[in-house]
Amino acid sequence: MAALAIPPSASQSHHATVVPSDRSNVIVFDETIDVDEDVTDFFDARFSSREDLANIKSVLQQQAAIANDLNQKLQDSKTTTAQVLKQAQNASKSALDRLQDLESSALGVEEQMENSESFASGKNKRDQRSLVDELGDLQTRVQALEDAKHYILTVSRTQKLISESKELLQTSVESALIPYGSLVELSNNTKVMLSGHGTKLESFLSASTESLLQDFKASLSKKFQASLDAIGWPKPIPRPFTIPDDKHDDFERSFKEILLLQEPTYGALDRSGDKPYPALLPIELMAAPLILRFKYHFEGNRPTNRPDKPEWYLNHVLELIKDHSPFLQEYVQIIVQETDYKEYDVKVNGPPILSVKFMRKERKIRLSAPTMLSSPEILSHAIYETLRFDKTLRESEFYFPPGQTTDWQGTVQVYLGNREWLKAWLRVEKEFASARYTQIIEDSDAWKPAYEDMAEKEYIIPTKSAEKLMDLLEIITERYRPLPVLEHRTFLLDIQLDILIDYHRHIRGLVDQYESLTYSFVRAMPGVASAEEINTMGIDGLRNLCQWLSSAEYISSTLKDWGEDVFFLELYKEISERAQKISNPLHSENDDSDEDYTLKKQMDANGTIFDDSIKGYSQLSKRIQELIVSSVSKEVFDSMRAYVSLRSWPQIEFSAPDSGSTLLPPVLDYTSSQHENDDVSPELYQPLNIFSHSLEFLATTLPTKHFTALYRQISPQMQDFFWHKIIMKNSFSELGGLQFARDIRIGVFGASRRWIKKPENYHRKLRDACILLSLQSAKVNSPPMLSFDQEDQENSASKHKNKDVNAAPVYATRTLAQIMAVLFDEDLEVDTVKHKLEEIGVLQLGINEAKDVIRRRVECWR
């Protein structure tokens, strides 16, 4: 608003020195006058109360007279100014004439020019400046009067609009809002015109607008409260909602009337954004007594206000929702649908009353959380209960804030949005997990099987520590699965990965200790082994290894299942999209090559959150399996010293045959358990006993799949041992070869047949060597043997007649001489030789390997 300056008196106007300044200050009689202050004092003096406004007409007339007087003075000043300017023009013309006459005198011309310029430029311009400044001052005073007039008119219009609105409110709320809207528009326009300088007029208009709105609310709230009392609110209203028509009409009418104040209170509803809509005014009034009861019970000194029992007030809110939702959804919702606020669909977005209740509950959280920092366990419990509360609202009440399109983060965000509270919570969660993990590991039964005598052998039986560990991780996951923010879920994932890393390191340390004791120098000294070293021997050692293997395998398989869970898949996707990588040092023992790393990066899109952990435990499982294989093999091989030292293989011969008897060695059949009366070499008893007990323990402890995998690794070592230590180190007679074949068939294969259906299939080279070493010799008292072709022709018909598709293949019987003739015949094709070997059952050995075995027979001269 422009400033207003008091005009000087007539006696002062000719002596005032006026310098133009800004609109707010004017210099009159060498004194600076604050125009705004003068205007303010002017109005404060004349209009100290609203009753003084009745004199405004006379004041306006007086000021109009002053303005006319000032206008007359302005006209006089303009006339005087015109005369002065005309005189200046005449003087300039006269000076030019004199310059033409005095061209011969330079000094005179210069002095004349100087006088002319001085006069033209106005060096003696006191009178001119006084006139200009006086004109500016008069214009400022006129503007101040105009502003004062506008000020008074604005105040008068404001009072008129207020009186009109209050009068119309008695008959129609919609009609009363028309002058109210005009008042709001007047206030906004005034603020724009005054540029928001915070003048008293702006404050007056804002206060008047707010006061009028509050009067509306008070009047309509009183009517609405009367309708609520009539229907029995805030008591739960049960179905069916049998409310009399007159009470229903009063409730509906007052509900819609107060809803007309929704836009004046909160502004127009923004339907384009992603912010929750404000609560409806009538719902706020309905929630007021519920909030009061909540505050009474949970924010005062009542016994119900306990920081360690957040579930009390959370359950209280859920009970309120349960009690009042039917009425809100089935009764109030119908009324809301008839208004401009159809977006407030309580059946989809949840009862609108929740918005108000959440405000109160969140306030409760902010009040109680600081007191929980000294007891982090209580804080953790409160966050857990709040997560449960949010989950119930999402799943049971289908709550979704009206107007919000993104996922609702829940009330737990009040806790987690505060960095101090978040750090305290994460610290206590890590401490809890660490303490629980320590209890699991230090339990005396940590490495015992979690289940005894399980009939099902298809799955690994975990140890108690592995099962409890995964139970702990599952509890952590389920407790905090509803966390809405990725950052918080990754923090909890770090807790889980830390536990998995610690458990992996613990098992790896036990395996390292076992390996160091197994291969220590003291272990090699009989009778000097310590108690710890004894635990690495025999069945005790296998038991420890199997317990660690079961733990690693169980965790690895469980993590594979978890990796496919929707929760972890979504978490992995979010982390990948944000280019975050959760480090895990489980597989740091074996650094990937550049090619492996490139392949891994390419496969990340199809990976899971636990890929690194699974890889670490799988590598540990593989290492333990190698130790089991090494332990069984070493125990058996160490006990075979006497068997390896046998030198009687070439001396075993036939006893004297009866006259006319036909001496033929038995055909070896590795697919049956016949020849029960045959016996193995006595030196093999102890190794077979160790081998059999080891297999029995592994078969009864591990699932069939794992046992078979271990046997598949043990069999090559057994085969190589017999090949290099027995076969290639000795010579064999015919019966010596038969005895060795019996040791393998009845001893080694027989010890395995209880758990492995066809153990000879895992020792194919050893089986083939036994066939060659037990070939019949061509002795002088032996009947003549047919050639390959002759015997094939004679036996062909009988073989086809008695053919059984389920029976084992029938191999031809050949003598050592026949096989030697085939093997050492340089003219035969390689395929022919292989075919002849296959006819006697030698399927795995190459030609050179078969020659090496045949040379171990004492009868072989090649």
Between residues 29 and 44, the one the model is more confident about: 44
Q: Of 214, 149, 229, 154, nearest to 185 (Cα)?
A: 154
Q: Of 227, 184, 185, nearest to 208 (Cα)?
A: 184
Average pLDDT rounded to a whole number, residues 661-683: 54
Sorted by where each begins, the domain ranges of the chain are: 25-169, 213-394, 426-626, 639-854
Between residues 344 and 213, the one the model is more confident about: 213
Confidence of residue 35 (pLDDT cuts 50, 70, 90): low
CA separation for the pair 90, 84 (Å, rounded): 10
pLDDT in the model for residue 303: 87
Average pLDDT rounded to a whole number, residues 2-21: 39
pLDDT in the model for residue 16: 38
Cβ 119 vs Cβ 91: under 8 Å: yes
Q: Of 535, 530, 529, nearest to 510 (Cα)?
A: 535
- pLDDT surpassing 60 at residue 565: yes
> Measured between alpha carbons, how far is residue 46 from residues 39, 150, 825 in Å?
11, 16, 141
Amino acid at 335: I
In the structure encoding, which two tokens stand for residue 438, read together? Answer: 């320590």
In the structure encoding, which two tokens stand for residue 332, read together? Answer: 């109030």
Cβ 94 vs Cβ 74: under 8 Å: no
Collapsing DSSP to helix, strand or coil, 417 comes out as coil
Collapsing DSSP to helix, strand or coil, 592 comes out as coil
The mean-pLDDT minimum among 215-229, 281-295, 384-398 falls in 384-398
CA separation for the pair 846, 455 (Å, rounded): 44
Output the 3-class SS for 595-649. Answer: HHHHHHHHHHHHCCCCHHHHHHHHHHHHHHHHHHHHHHHHHHHHCCHHHHCCCCC
702-728: buried (b, 16+ CB within 10 Å) or exposed (e) per residue?
A: bbeebbbebbebbbeebbebbbeebbe
- What's the CATH number of domain 639-854, 1.20.58, 3.30.70, 1.10.3470, 1.20.1070? 1.20.58
Q: Based on the number of CB atoms within 10 Å of its own CB, is 91 exposed (0-12), middle (13-18) or buried (19 or more)?
A: middle
Q: Of 431, 409, 401, 449, nearest to 499 (Cα)?
A: 431
pLDDT in the model for residue 860: 87
pLDDT in the model for residue 778: 64
CA separation for the pair 439, 177 (Å, rounded): 70
H helix or E strand, kind and range, residue 177: helix 173-193
Average pLDDT rounded to a whole number, residues 227-244: 86
Cβ 624 vs Cβ 552: under 8 Å: yes
pTM tops 0.85, yes or no: no
DSSP 732: B
Condensed to tens digits (0 to 9), the pLDDT of residues 608-667 reads 788 888 999 999 999 999 999 999 999 999 999 999 998 888 887 644 334 333 333 444
Long-range Cβ contacts of 185-188 (<8 Å, 24+ apart): 186/154, 186/157, 186/158, 186/161
In the structure encoding, which two tokens stand for residue 777, read together? Answer: 């010799």
Bridge partners of 449, per DSSP, are 463
Between residues 170 and 34, the one the model is more confident about: 170
CA separation for the pair 168, 565 (Å, rounded): 64
Q: Of 243, 251, 261, nearest to 286 (Cα)?
A: 251
The overall average pLDDT reported for the chain is 76
Q: Of 1, 48, 9, 51, nearest to 29 (Cα)?
A: 9
pLDDT in the model for residue 306: 85
Amino acid at 560: K
Q: Of 392, 394, 231, 239, nearest to 330 (Cα)?
A: 239
The mean-pLDDT minimum among 80-94, 183-197, 346-360, 486-500 falls in 346-360
CATH architecture of 426-626: Orthogonal Bundle (1.10)
Confidence of residue 370 (pLDDT cuts 50, 70, 90): confident
Collapsing DSSP to helix, strand or coil, 60 comes out as helix
* Cα-only R_g, the chain: 54
Q: Is 194 left (phi over 0), alpha (psi -120 to 50) or beta?
A: alpha
Average pLDDT rounded to a whole number, residues 13-41: 51
Helix pair angle (126-169, 56-101), 10° resolution: 160
Between residues 333 and 636, the one the model is more confident about: 636
List of residues 6+ apart from 431 with CB closer than 8 A: 376
Q: Of 424, 416, 415, nearest to 374 (Cα)?
A: 424
CA separation for the pair 398, 530 (Å, rounded): 66
Cβ 541 vs Cβ 535: under 8 Å: yes
Cβ 207 vs Cβ 189: under 8 Å: no
pLDDT in the model for residue 523: 46
DSSP 34: E
The mean-pLDDT minimum among 91-100, 625-634, 828-837 falls in 91-100
DSSP 676: T
Confidence of residue 163 (pLDDT cuts 50, 70, 90): confident
CA separation for the pair 78, 88 (Å, rounded): 15
Mean pLDDT highest for which of 419-423, 654-658, 683-687?
683-687
Collapsing DSSP to helix, strand or coil, 295 comes out as helix
Q: Based on the number of CB atoms within 10 Å of its own CB, is 329 exposed (0-12), middle (13-18) or buried (19 or more)?
A: middle
> Measured between alpha carbons, how far is residue 179 from residues 58, 153, 253, 501, 835 in Å?
28, 16, 22, 72, 113
- pLDDT surpassing 50 at residue 784: no
Collapsing DSSP to helix, strand or coil, 844 comes out as coil
Percent over 70 (pLDDT), the chain: 73
- pLDDT surpassing 50 at residue 597: no
Length of the chain: 862
Q: Based on the number of CB atoms within 10 Å of its own CB, is 63 exposed (0-12), middle (13-18) or buried (19 or more)?
A: middle
Average pLDDT rounded to a whole number, residues 332-336: 87
DSSP letters of 338-378? TTT-TT--HHHH--THHHHHHHHHHHHHHHHHHHHTT-HHH
In the structure encoding, which two tokens stand for residue 730, read together? Answer: 């000795």
Confidence of residue 407 (pLDDT cuts 50, 70, 90): low
**How far from the centroid of its chain's Cα atoms is residue 491's Cα?**
8
The mean-pLDDT minimum among 101-110, 191-200, 402-411, 541-550 falls in 101-110
CA separation for the pair 800, 802 (Å, rounded): 6
Q: Are domains 426-626 and 639-854 of this chain identical in fold?
A: no
**How far from the centroid of its chain's Cα atoms is residue 848's Cα?**
63
Average pLDDT rounded to a whole number, residues 188-207: 76
Between residues 215 and 366, the one the model is more confident about: 215
pLDDT in the model for residue 545: 93
Cβ 308 vs Cβ 381: under 8 Å: yes
> Measured between alpha carbons, how far is residue 314 from residues 388, 389, 710 in Å?
9, 7, 56
pLDDT in the model for residue 662: 35
Cβ 176 vs Cβ 169: under 8 Å: yes
Confidence of residue 101 (pLDDT cuts 50, 70, 90): low
- Main-chain dihedrals φ then ψ at residue 449, nearest 5 degrees: -60, 140
Average pLDDT rounded to a whole number, residues 697-703: 90
CA separation for the pair 414, 391 (Å, rounded): 15
The mean-pLDDT minimum among 39-48, 173-182, 222-231, 283-292 falls in 39-48
